[in-house]
Amino acid sequence: MPSQRTSSGKLKPLQLAAIIFLTVSGGPYGLEPLFSYVGDNGALLLLLVTPILWDAPTILTVLELNSLMPVTGGYYQWVKHALGIRWAFYEGWWTWLYTFVDLAIYPVLFVGYAAFFFPAIAVYKVPVCLAIIWSSALLNILGIVPVGKASVFLGSLVLTPFLILFIVLLARHTAPFSVPTPSLNGLGFSPISMGLYTVMWNFLGWDNATTYAGEVVRPVRSYLVSVCIAFVLVIGVYLLTALAVHQSGIDPVVLTNGGFPVLGVLTAGRWLGILLAAGGMASAMGLYSAVLLSVSRVPQVMADDQLLPAKLCSLHPRFGTPYISIIASSAIVSILILRTFSDLVIMDIILYGAGLSLEFGALLTLRIREPFRERPFKIPLNNTGLFLMILLPMGVYSIALSGAIYSSEKMTIPVLLALVMLVSAEPAWRLILYRNPSLASTKTLK
């Protein structure tokens, strides 16, 4: 086994903030369909409300649980300690599956933005996606610090074009900068639910960044600082982009079909379109590497608990990374890239929400069972307040899920696939018990 990491082999706050930003957002890339679903007014409303109802409770939960247990495995370890080994397996299984779906989205986005430079690249979608998947796997095998340094660089490539876009729009309009009125008036349930799915997808993943807490310098403080930095960046760039879309007057259908590079061309010419296309490619690469970093640590700790084959926890003899887990994850994602973008987003949210509910359950359980255990960060709410706080994101999740089920036949297949993936946790658990009956008597593992 490799020796314990020194601080030079761990993530620093700026690197962690960059990874969290790329894990959660990666910039506004992927928001384009939102404007065709709900228009400028609806887009601004959802972008203002979703962080309050969906993100804030999740972030607070992640910060408290991570301050309580800043360990490798993150959310899996929290659920295991609070709810027991069975629910920990469900948590690990569901989040593992959701992250595979999430990962499959980014190579597809990369090809879409690369088509701005090379339209013919769409013909080679599969080989290009595979090249992204396996080059990111290699980067992750090399270690967490290279991923952190790459994330800082890629994050700057993502943010800079949108700042230029906003400055150019501001400079070229002599009239007052107009702001759309946040509203969903006149919209049906189907477009609202699809718009909600789009925004939720662009705001998820805060808990993913905790799976490698053991590889972060002073993890409790670093996560508090880094999450705040990332949250401000995410909110800021989304709102600026929504204002830029509104100010430009671009047709939402044109934006959806051509992406933000078309907005850049309309605003300042091809040079800005090129910058935005390059930023989209950097975003896809950064998101993929950052999310793969988080998911590759979960099978490692599950294998330590005999829930997955022990081979998955094998560490690279030189780099000390879970290279078997990284390779296995990359192989599964290589299959999922065949699904469409909208299908993957719907499946992503359904799976993620299920796992998130167990994290909320762990928060409440540990508050009740271990009220006096030291928590460097503690949500300033009592148990009743915590329960009411949790109802906010779960309510948003329920609205999105019901909208997907009842509003459109096109959503039926991805919803059913996601539900089948959720249910698959139970037969998988039964198989594990069959092979290792002693786990049935295990209540909690610290």
Q: Is the pLDDT of residue 70 over 50?
A: yes
CA 8-9-15 angle, to 5 degrees, is: 85
The predicted structure's pLDDT at residue 261? 92
Q: What is the DSSP letter of 72?
A: B
Enter the CATH code of domain 16-436: 1.20.1740.10
Residue 155 has a pLDDT of 72
Question: pLDDT tier at 56 (50, 70, 90 boundaries)?
Answer: very high
- For residue 156, give the H/E element and its range: helix 144-172
Segment 149-173, tens digit of pLDDT:
666 677 777 888 888 888 888 787 6
Per DSSP, what are the bridge partners of residue 212?
72
Query: What would the mean pLDDT of 43-53 be, rounded to a whole number?
Result: 93
Per DSSP, 426 falls in state: H
Share above pLDDT 70 across residues of the chain, in percent, rounded to a whole number: 90
Distance CA 386, CA 384 (A): 5
Question: CA angle at residue 228 from 342 to 359, to 5 degrees?
Answer: 60
To which residue do tokens 């409440």 refer?
A: 364
- Per-residue pLDDT tens for 231-288? 998 998 899 899 889 888 899 999 988 889 999 999 888 999 999 998 888 888 777 7
Token couple for 355: 């796992």
- In sequence order, the 6+-apart residues with CB closer than 8 A to the CB of 309 are 303
The pLDDT assigned to 204 comes to 85
Which stretch of 26-35, 94-103, 336-345 has the lowest confidence by average pLDDT?
336-345
Q: Are 353 and 397 in contact (CB under 8 A)?
A: yes
For residue 393, what pLDDT is reported? Answer: 93
Nearest residue to 146 (alpha-carbon basis) of 338, 292, 329: 292
Crossing angle of the two packed helices 297-304 and 270-295, in degrees rounded to 10 = 10
Residue boundaries of the structural domains of the chain = 16-436
Half-sphere exposure (Cβ direction) of 107: Cα atoms closer than 13 Å: 27
Note the pLDDT tens digit of each residue in 336-393: 888 777 788 888 889 999 999 999 999 999 999 999 888 889 999 999 999 999 999 9
- 17 confidence band (pLDDT: 50, 70, 90): confident
Q: Looking at this protein, which amino acid is placed at residue 290? A: A
First to last CA, the chain: 22
Q: What pLDDT band is residue 409 in, cutting at 50, 70 and 90? A: low
For 167, half-sphere exposure in the C-beta direction (CA atoms, 13 angstrom radius) is 7
Measured CA to CA, the distance from residue 373 to residue 160 in angstroms comes to: 43
How distant, in Å, are the alpha carbons of 63, 70, 413 from that of 217?
16, 11, 44
Which band of pLDDT confidence, cut at 50, 70 and 90, is reported for residue 49? very high
Angstrom distance (rounded) from CA 213 to CA 225? 14
Which tens digit of pLDDT belongs to each residue from 422-442? Answer: 999 999 999 999 888 888 766
Residue partners of 52: CB distance under 8 A and separation at least 6 = 392
User: What confidence score (pLDDT) does residue 428 get?
Assistant: 93
Beta strands in 206-319 (DSSP E): none
Over residues 30-55, mean pLDDT: 92
Residue range 307-349, pLDDT digits in tens? 888 777 677 787 777 788 788 888 888 888 887 777 888 888 8
